[in-house]
Amino acid sequence: MRPEFNALKDHPDLSVLIVGGGINGIGCFNELALQGIDVLLVEKSDFCAGTSAAMTRVIHGGLRYLENAEFRLVRESLRERNRLFRNAPHYVKPLPTTIPIFNWTSGMVPAIRNLLRWPTRPGDRGAVVIKSGLTLYDLLAGRHSPLPRHTFRSRSEALALRPSLNPGILCTATYYDARITYPERLCLELVQDAEAACPQARALNYVRLHSASGGEVTLRDELSGSTCTVRPRIVVNAAGAWIDGVNRDLGRPSQFIGGTKGSHIVLDHPELVRETGDDMIYFVNRDGRICIFYAVQGKIVAGATDIPTSDPETSCDEAEVDYILHAMQQAFPAIRVNRSHVVFRFCGVRPLPRSNALTPGQISRDHSFPVLPPGNGIDFPIYSLVGGKWTTFRALAEQVTNEILRVLGRPRLRSSAHIPIGGGKGYPRLPQGTGLSQDRLLSLQERYGTGADSVAAYLLAGPDSPLASLPRYSLREIEFIARNERVLHLDDLILRRTLIGLLGEATRPVIEELAAVVAPVLQWPPQTASAEVARTIHLLQSVHGMSFND
């Protein structure tokens, strides 16, 4: 049995139990730890393995939410976006976003109806509507925004820059948001920072909330199958799309969530990488739905769909792949894009509130945290974190924490607003005097921020060599991750500690070589290493659409 799980048996009493280790659960965990609260977070899978790993990887104010007249939400999101530039500069980088525009006046009537809060289906947006929206967006970002203001390009300028762009355009508009290069790693860093800040804060991956009775909650270690009970004063249900299922397991059924699934595909398409350049292309389909695509480390990430679902474990289906490919083809009709270019797919379910909106895109992306008071044989209150965006995790965590501190009668000790996260501390310092090449140091900095210091020191402490199957990584770098970054399954390493999975690089030889490096560190006997290889291949085939016909 894992010693950390076993230790819970000796200390079953705690102030707060958080269920769910996505960005919202982890954000609350970090915020409570900063206040010195004894808090336990349990995640049934790996940290950031649910919807938080399925995001478009954009830290944004939500230009589209202006159409729903959600000005407060956009202002809050822009404020949090700007904070993340400061607090996570190693992973949050400017992202110019270009919108191809096909006419002057489309969308004006729907825009006015939306402002008046009359139900309207979205449609095409013309230059006038987009100009108004972007002007307001820049205004809401404030005078101290770290990003430039929007600009327009004429048709000829736009086509000179991107010759394959749809020639039917009238012009393009470019505005600025941010990309997040490693959202999964930022989640891990928030966990590690929290545990370092507060000895009474503990987060465990692969531990599932099983059931509850009276004041006791039963947890199950997903690795060994063993169980234990804890006695929290407050439960925070941060299970995202699983929230209603978790409340049912807690004995307090709810109907908070009306999820929508969103899928992305990753394409190996050098021509599209050249055409998109540094920009995200924000393409509005004729039906009013938005498709975005942009280059991530030489591949194209494209998405996302928005389809109502009640299944939190759903995956990207063929119709969604066709839909995204079709939208890309409309944006760049001169470039052939088809299924042979798709190397990876991913999907997640937005934990949105139940709603009667006309279209999924019109359901508010704002967050709330309804409380189920003690009752029905359960002695503790449950706060469910409904809705929200990745971008606004800190604001949600701050609000929930204020409420929890009030209930516990504890003071707020610190604000997280200005605290750098993980490898964002002291960024952009490079490790000094290591003897590693400048290129290697820069690649470590790109992956770990100032955490590159510890990685570089580890690389130099023993003989190292590039992986035979993926020379961008070295043997000791993988060992470092396995040793220090809470890896319990091989797919944690491939899908969440690195971009190997996302970029479609997890071929059989890569998976086998990684298993061979990790096995001695995690003391896997040969049969466990083989089982991990099989588990990873199955996951990549069944969930991420990869094929291993070798």
Ligand X SMILES: Cc1cc2nc3c(=O)[nH]c(=O)nc-3n(C[C@H](O)[C@H](O)[C@H](O)COP(=O)(O)OP(=O)(O)OC[C@H]3O[C@@H](n4cnc5c(N)ncnc54)[C@H](O)[C@@H]3O)c2cc1C
Cβ 507 to ligand X, closest distance in Å? Answer: 26
For residue 54, the 8-state DSSP code is S
Q: Which of 35, 52, 97, 401 binds ligand X (CB under 6 A)?
A: 52
Cβ 482 to ligand X, closest distance in Å? Answer: 21
Q: Please, are residues 498 and 181 in contact by the beta-carbon 8 Å criterion?
A: no
3 state SS of 507: coil
Q: Which of 238, 395, 488, 493 binds ligand X (CB under 6 A)?
A: 238
Chain center to CA of 398 = 19
Q: Which of 31, 38, 43, 492 binds ligand X (CB under 6 A)?
A: 43
Characterize the bridge pairing of strands 280-284 and 92-101: parallel
Residue of 168, 88, 85 lying closest to 124 (CA atoms): 168
Residues 343-382 that bind ligand X (CB under 6 A): 348, 350-351
Residues 181-210 that bind ligand X (CB under 6 A): 208-209
446 to 465: interface string for ligand X, x by CB under 6 A: --------------------
- The smaller minimum CB distance to ligand X, of residues 153 and 367, is found at 367
Determine how many CB atoms are found less than 10 A away from the CB of residue 38: 18
Cβ 308 to ligand X, closest distance in Å? Answer: 12
Cβ 259 to ligand X, closest distance in Å? Answer: 9
Q: Which of 61, 110, 133, 240 binds ligand X (CB under 6 A)?
A: 240
Cβ 211 to ligand X, closest distance in Å? Answer: 10
Q: Which of 262, 424, 451, 501 binds ligand X (CB under 6 A)?
A: 262
Cα separation, 296 vs 389, whole angstroms: 21
| Separation in Å, CA 436 to CA 74, 365, 439, 463, 505 | 44, 45, 8, 13, 25
Phi and psi dihedrals of 314, rounded to 5? -65, 160
- The smaller minimum CB distance to ligand X, of residues 157 and 313, is found at 313
Q: Which of 246, 327, 331, 502 binds ligand X (CB under 6 A)?
A: 246
Q: Is residue 389 close enough to count as binding ligand X by CB under 6 A?
A: yes
Q: Please, are residues 23 and 183 in contact by the beta-carbon 8 Å criterion?
A: yes
Cα separation, 414 vs 31, whole angstroms: 9
Q: Is residue 49 close enough to count as binding ligand X by CB under 6 A?
A: yes
Cβ 49 to ligand X, closest distance in Å? Answer: 5
Token digits of residue 352 = 């949105």
Token digits of residue 343 = 């190397």
Determine how many CB atoms are found less than 10 A away from the CB of residue 168: 11
- The smaller minimum CB distance to ligand X, of residues 63 and 444, is found at 63
Q: Please, are residues 263 and 304 in contact by the beta-carbon 8 Å criterion?
A: yes
- The smaller minimum CB distance to ligand X, of residues 206 and 480, is found at 206
From the list 154-162, 238-246, 468-476, 530-538, the region that binds ligand X by CB under 6 A is 238-246
- The smaller minimum CB distance to ligand X, of residues 306 and 477, is found at 306
- The smaller minimum CB distance to ligand X, of residues 154 and 226, is found at 226
- The smaller minimum CB distance to ligand X, of residues 366 and 513, is found at 366
Cα separation, 542 vs 534, whole angstroms: 12
From the list 52-60, 123-131, 168-176, 419-427, the region that binds ligand X by CB under 6 A is 52-60
Tell me which H or E stretch contains 228: strand 227-237
Alpha-carbon dihedral 473, 474, 478, 484, rounded to 10 degrees:
-110
Residue of 301, 398, 396, 417 lying closest to 351 (CA atoms): 396
Q: Is residue 259 close enough to count as binding ligand X by CB under 6 A?
A: no
Alpha-carbon Rg for the chain in angstroms = 23
- The smaller minimum CB distance to ligand X, of residues 288 and 303, is found at 303
Residues near 135 by beta carbon (within 8 Å), at least 6 away in sequence: 150
- The smaller minimum CB distance to ligand X, of residues 242 and 473, is found at 242
With left for phi above 0 and alpha for psi between -120 and 50, is residue 523 left, alpha or beta? left
Q: Is residue 93 close enough to count as binding ligand X by CB under 6 A?
A: no
Give 283's strand partners. 291
- The smaller minimum CB distance to ligand X, of residues 228 and 444, is found at 228
Token digits of residue 138 = 């820049």
Residues 465-484 that bind ligand X (CB under 6 A): none
Residues 2-41 that bind ligand X (CB under 6 A): 19-25
- The smaller minimum CB distance to ligand X, of residues 153 and 345, is found at 345
Q: Is residue 307 close enough to count as binding ligand X by CB under 6 A?
A: no
Residues of this chain that interact with ligand X (CB under 6 A) are 19-25, 42-45, 49-52, 54-58, 60, 208-209, 238-242, 246, 262, 303-304, 348, 350-351, 385, 388-391
